[in-house]
Amino acid sequence: MNKPVALRTVRSVCPHDCPSACALDVDILDDHTIGRVRGAKDDPYTAGVICEKVARYAERVHHPDRLTQPLRRSGPKGSGQFTPISWDEALDEIAARFNQIEADHGAEAIWPYYYAGTMGHVQRDGIDRLRAAKGYSRQYDTICTGTAWPGYIAGTGMLGGVNPEQMAESDCVVIWGTNAVHTQVNVMTHAMRAKKERGAKIVVIDIYQTATMAQADLGLVLRPGTDGALAVAVMHILLRDGLADRAYMAKFTDFGPDFEAHLADRTPAWAAAITGLSIAEINEFAHLVGTTPASYFRLGYGFTRQRNGATAMHAALCIPAMTGAWQHRGGGAFHSNSGTWALDKSRLTGSGLQKGDPRWLDMSEIGPILTGNAKALKQGGPVKAMIVQNTNPASVAPEQALVRRGLARDDLFLVVHEQFMTETAELADIVLPATMFLEHNDYYTRGGHTRVLYGPAIITRPGQTKSNHEVINALALRLGLDDDTFKTTDRDVIADTFHRSGYPALEEVETTGFVDRERPDATARYADGFDWPDKRFRFAPNWQGTADKKSYQWTCDPADMPRFADHWAITEAATVEHPFRLATSPARAFLNSSFNETPGSQKREGVPSVFIHPDDAARLAIADGEFVTIGNRRGTVDLTARVRPGLPTGVLIAEGLHQNKAHRGGRGINTVTSATPAPPFGGTVYHDAAVWIRKAE
Ligand SMILES: Nc1nc2c(c(=O)[nH]1)N[C@H]1C(S)=C(S)[C@@H](COP(=O)(O)OP(=O)(O)OC[C@H]3O[C@@H](n4cnc5c(=O)[nH]c(N)nc54)[C@H](O)[C@@H]3O)O[C@H]1N2
Ligand SMILES: Nc1nc2c(c(=O)[nH]1)N[C@H]1C(S)=C(S)[C@@H](COP(=O)(O)OP(=O)(O)OC[C@H]3O[C@@H](n4cnc5c(=O)[nH]c(N)nc54)[C@H](O)[C@@H]3O)O[C@H]1N2
Ligand code: SF4
Ligand SMILES: [Mo]
Which DSSP category does 594 fall into?
Answer: B
Q: Is the dihedral of CA 40, 44, 50, 54 positive or negative?
A: negative
Q: Is the CB of 212 under 6 A from ligand 1?
A: no
Strands 514-516 and 627-632: unpaired
Element (H or E) spanning 218, and its range?
strand 218-221
Q: Measured between alpha carbons, how far is 164 from 298 in angstroms, rounded to an integer? A: 8
Every domain range in the chain assigned CATH 3.40.50.740: 71-144+349-516
**Which residue puts its alpha carbon closest to atom 18 of ligand 2?**
391
Q: Which one, of 74, 113, 19, 155, lies nearest residue 448 by Cα?
A: 19
pLDDT at 170 over 90: yes
Distance 141 CA to ligand 2 centre (A): 13
Q: Three-state SS across 499-516?
A: HHCCCCCHHHHHHHCEEE
Burial 99-109 (b: 16+ CB within 10 A, else e): eebbeebbbbb
Confidence at residue 133, expressed as pLDDT on a 0 to 100 scale: 98
The angle at the Cα of 162, spanning 161 to 164, to the nearest 5 degrees, equals 110
98 or 550, which is more confident: 98
Contact (Cβ atoms closer than 8 angstroms) between residue 599 and residue 629:
no
Q: Tell me, what's the pLDDT at 4?
A: 73
- In CATH, what number does 161-333 get? 3.40.228.10
* pLDDT confidence of residue 3: 67
Structure confidence by residue, pLDDT tens digits, 626-669? 999 999 999 999 999 999 999 999 999 999 999 999 999 999 99
Domain with CATH 3.40.228.10 in the chain: 161-333
CATH classification for the domain delimited by 71-144+349-516, as one of 3.40.50.740, 3.10.20.440, 3.20.20.70, 3.40.50.720: 3.40.50.740
Q: Note the pLDDT tens digit of each residue in 33-73.
A: 999 999 999 999 999 999 999 999 999 999 999 999 999 99
**Residue 263 parent element (H or E):** helix 257-263
CATH ID of 580-695, from 2.40.40.20, 1.10.287.610, 3.40.605.10, 3.30.70.100: 2.40.40.20
Q: What is the rounded average pLDDT of the residues 85-92?
A: 98
Q: Is the CB of 389 inside a 6 Å radius of any atom of ligand 2?
A: yes
pLDDT value for 2: 59
Measured in angstroms, how far is the CA atom of residue 53 from the centroid of ligand 3? 8
The SS3 call for residue 496 is helix
| Burial of 261 per CB tally in 10 Å (0-12, 13-18, 19+) | exposed
Atom of ligand 3 at shortest distance to CA of 53?
Answer: 4
Does the C-beta of 119 come closer than 6 Å to ligand 3? no
Task: Please name the residue whose Cα sits nearest to atom 24 of ligand 1.
Answer: 302
Which residues of the chain does CATH 2.20.25.90 include? 8-61
Using CA atoms, how far apart are residues 685 and 678, in angstroms rounded to an integer? 7
What residues contact residue 42 under an 8 Å CB cut-off, 6+ apart?
none
Alpha carbon dihedral 424, 425, 428, 431, in 10-degree steps, equals 150
**Of 433, 475, 467, 414, nearest in space to 130 by CA:** 475
d(Cα 495, Cα 502) in Å, to the nearest integer? Answer: 11
* Ligand 1 centroid distance, CA of 182 (Å): 8
Q: Give span(s): CATH 2.40.40.20, the chain.
A: 580-695
* 26 CB neighbour count, 10 Å cutoff: 24
Closest to 271 measured CA to CA, from 306, 307, 236: 236
Task: Name the closest-CA residue to atom 4, ligand 3.
Answer: 51
Contacts of residue 254, defined as CB under 8 A and 6 or more positions apart, other chains included, come to 534, 536, 537, 538, 539, 540
User: Average pLDDT over the chain, rounded to whole?
Assistant: 97
Nearest to 209 by CA among 687, 651, 647, 609: 647
At 1 the pLDDT is 46
Class of domain 8-61: mainly beta
Secondary-structure percent of the chain, ordered helix, strand, coil, rounded to 5: 35, 20, 45
Q: How far is the CA of 644 from the centre of ligand 2 (A)?
A: 29
Q: What is the pLDDT of residues 671-682, one digit of tens each?
A: 999 999 999 999
Q: Report which bound ligand comes closest to the CA of 434.
A: 2
The model's pLDDT over 354-388, given as tens digits with 9 standing for 90+, comes to 999 999 999 999 999 999 999 999 999 999 999 99
Given this model, what pLDDT does residue 551 score?
A: 83
In this prediction the pTM is 0.98
Q: Please work out whether the CB of residue 225 comes within 6 Å of at least one atom of ligand 1.
A: yes
Taking the C-alpha atoms of residue 650 and residue 692, their distance in angstroms, rounded to an integer, is 10
